[in-house]
C-alpha cells in the first residue's frame, strides 16, 4: 500500500515536472521568438521587392567621422554636403559633393549631433544636438552665429522656414519656433504638449508639421500658432515628416514599421508604404515629388513611387536618405561612420 502510494506520488511529481518544463518552453517561445524572427529578418530580408533594384556600390563615400553619422544633407545648390556625427564624435563636417573632399569640420556640440538643415539660401546651417542645444553656423566659414541653449531635453528635429527668417525645432517637450537673427523664441503653438521628433515647413511657409510621440502628425498655422489638423493612422510614434515640393502631400515615417503619405488639407491618408520589417525612422520626397525615400532600423533605404507605393530601389546596410536638389543623387548615412552618395540617374 505504501509502495503504491509512493509510486503514485512519484508519477504525479514526474507529471508536474514535465508540465513545468512544457510551460517554461512556451514562455521562452513567446518572449524569445519575436527577437529571433527580427534578427533573422535583418540578416535575410524578405524577397518582397517586386521589381526593385538592389544597389550595393555608391558613387562616392565620405569617410571622416569617428562614430555613426546621424544625418547628412545637401546644400540647396547641391555643391556641398553637411554630415552630423553621433555621440563620441559630436562634429559637423562639410564636404564637396562632387569630389568628396572634406572642406572643414564644425566643433561646438558637447554630445552627438542628431539633425541638420541648410537655410534656403545655403548661407547658414542649423545643427540640433543631444547636448540640449541648437547651433546656427555660417555655412561658408564654419563660424558660430547663435547658440540656442538651456533646452531641457535633446533636440531631434530642425527646419528653416522657406524665407530663412525662422527656425523650427522639435524635442521631447514639443515644437518651438525661433527668430534666426536673434535666436529668440517667436511663436507659441496651440495644443503642443507632446514630444516631437521631426518638424517641416510647407513650401509656402504658411504651415508647420510635426511628427509626434502620441502617434500623430499635427499641423499648425505659422502666423497665429493655431492648430489646423491632426492626422491619425500610425500605431507608434511618428519619427519623421516631410512636405512634398508642391505642398500638396505630407509623408510620415513611424516606428510602426510603415511610412504614409497624407493630404495636408483634409488629413486623408493617400498611400502606405509597408516594405520595411522594422521601425521606419526617416522619409523624404524627391525634388519632383514623384518618389519617396525611407529608411529604418532594418538597415535599408528604400525608394518608392509616391503615388502607388511601388518599391523600385533598395540600398542595403544604409540609413537616413536625402535627395540632391536635382534628384539625380541620394545620400545615405549612419551605420559604418560614413556617408554614401548614390547615383539615381541610371
Q: Are residues 22 and 121 in the same domain?
A: no
Q: Which domain holds residue 104?
A: 53-343
Beta sheet of 311-316, edge-to-edge order? 53-55, 311-316, 300-305, 291-296, 280-285
* Residues 31 and 124 placed together within one structural domain of the fold: no
Q: Are 127 and 248 in the same domain?
A: yes
**Can you tell me the distance from the alpha carbon of 233 to that of 263, in angstroms, rounded to the nearest whole number?**
13
pTM: 0.83
The reported pLDDT for the residue numbered 1 is 46
Alpha carbon separation from 272 to 41, 101, 117, 233, 263 (Å, rounded): 21, 38, 26, 10, 12
DSSP string for residues in 154-221: -EEEEEE-TTSSEEEEEETTEEEEEETTT--EEEPPTT--S-EEEEEE-TTSSEEEEEETTSEEEEEE
Could you give the CA distance from residue 92 to residue 97 in angstroms, rounded to a whole number? Answer: 15
pLDDT at 188: 76
* Span 58-67, pLDDT tens digits: 999 999 999 9
Q: Are residues 16 and 91 in the same domain?
A: no
Q: What is the CATH number of the domain that holds 331?
A: 2.130.10.10
Q: pLDDT exceeding 90 applies to what percent of the chain? A: 72
- The reported pLDDT for the residue numbered 153 is 80
**Nearest residue to 242 (alpha-carbon basis) of 291, 299, 189, 171:** 291
What's the grid cell of residue 32? 524569445
Torsion of CA 15, 17, 22, 26, to 10 degrees: 140
pLDDT at 165: 97
**Is 64 exposed, middle or buried, given 0-12, 13-18 or 19+ CB atoms closer than 10 A?**
middle
Q: How many domains does the chain have?
A: 2
Are residue 19 and residue 160 in the same domain, yes or no?
no
64 and 176, same structural domain? yes
73 lies in the same domain as 8: no
Distance CA 66, CA 55 (A): 25
Smallest Cα–Cα separation from 117: which of 75, 150, 87? 75
Q: Supply the pLDDT for residue 305.
A: 96
- Cβ atoms of residues 27 and 21 within 8 Å: no
Length of the chain: 346
Q: Are residues 209 and 237 in the same domain?
A: yes
Q: What is the pLDDT of residue 194?
A: 78
Q: How far apart are CA 199 and CA 196, in angstroms?
A: 7
- Do 172 and 283 share a domain, yes or no? yes
Short-list 210, 259, 265, CA closest to 235:
259
Burial of 175-200, coded b for 16+ CB within 10 Å and e otherwise, reads bbbbebeeeeeebebeebebbbbbbb
- Together in a domain, 204 and 282: yes
Tell me: do 28 and 148 sit in the same domain.
no
For residues 89 and 222, membership in a common domain is answered with yes
Q: Which residues of the chain have pLDDT under 50?
A: 1-3, 5-6, 26, 28-50
Question: How would you class 23 by CB atoms within 10 Å of its CB: exposed for 0-12, middle for 13-18, buried for 19 or more?
Answer: exposed
Whole-number pLDDT of residue 317? 84
Amino acid at each position: 500500500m505504501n509502495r503504491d502510494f509512493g509510486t503514485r506520488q512519484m508519477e504525479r511529481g514526474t507529471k508536474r515536472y514535465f508540465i513545468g518544463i512544457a510551460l517554461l518552453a512556451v514562455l521562452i517561445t513567446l518572449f524569445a521568438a519575436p527577437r529571433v524572427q527580427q534578427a533573422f529578418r535583418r540578416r535575410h530580408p524578405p524577397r518582397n521587392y517586386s521589381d526593385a533594384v538592389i544597389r550595393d556600390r555608391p558613387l562616392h563615400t565620405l569617410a571622416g567621422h569617428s562614430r555613426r553619422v546621424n544625418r547628412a544633407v545637401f546644400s540647396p545648390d547641391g555643391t556641398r554636403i553637411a554630415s552630423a556625427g553621433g555621440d563620441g564624435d559630436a562634429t559637423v563636417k562639410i564636404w564637396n559633393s562632387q569630389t568628396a573632399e572634406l572642406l572643414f569640420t564644425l566643433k561646438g556640440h558637447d554630445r552627438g549631433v542628431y539633425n541638420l538643415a541648410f537655410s534656403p539660401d545655403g548661407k547658414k546651417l542649423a545643427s540640433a544636438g543631444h547636448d540640449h542645444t541648437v547651433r546656427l553656423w555660417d555655412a561658408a566659414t564654419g563660424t558660430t552665429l547663435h547658440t540656442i541653449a538651456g533646452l531641457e531635453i535633446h533636440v531631434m528635429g530642425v527646419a528653416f522656414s522657406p524665407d530663412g527668417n525662422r527656425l523650427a525645432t522639435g524635442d521631447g517637450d514639443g515644437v518651438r519656433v525661433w527668430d534666426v537673427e536673434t535666436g529668440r523664441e517667436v511663436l507659441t503653438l496651440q495644443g503642443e504638449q507632446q514630444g516631437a521628433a521631426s518638424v517641416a515647413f510647407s513650401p509656402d511657409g504658411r504651415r508647420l508639421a510635426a511628427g509626434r510621440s502620441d502617434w500623430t502628425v499635427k499641423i499648425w498655422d505659422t502666423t497665429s500658432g493655431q492648430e489646423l489638423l491632426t492626422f491619425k493612422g500610425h500605431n507608434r510614434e511618428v519619427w519623421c515628416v516631410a512636405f512634398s515640393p508642391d505642398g500638396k502631400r505630407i509623408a510620415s515615417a513611424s516606428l510602426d514599421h510603415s511610412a504614409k503619405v497624407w493630404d495636408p488639407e483634409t488629413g486623408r491618408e493617400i498611400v502606405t508604404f509597408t516594405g520595411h520589417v522594422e521601425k521606419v525612422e526617416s522619409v523624404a520626397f524627391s525634388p519632383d515629388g514623384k518618389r519617396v525615400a525611407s529608411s529604418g532600423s532594418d538597415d535599408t533605404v528604400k525608394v518608392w513611387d509616391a503615388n502607388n507605393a511601388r518599391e523600385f530601389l533598395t540600398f542595403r546596410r544604409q540609413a537616413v536618405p536625402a535627395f540632391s536638389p536635382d534628384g539625380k543623387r541620394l545620400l545615405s548615412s549612419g551605420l559604418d561612420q560614413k556617408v554614401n552618395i548614390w547615383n539615381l540617374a541610371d
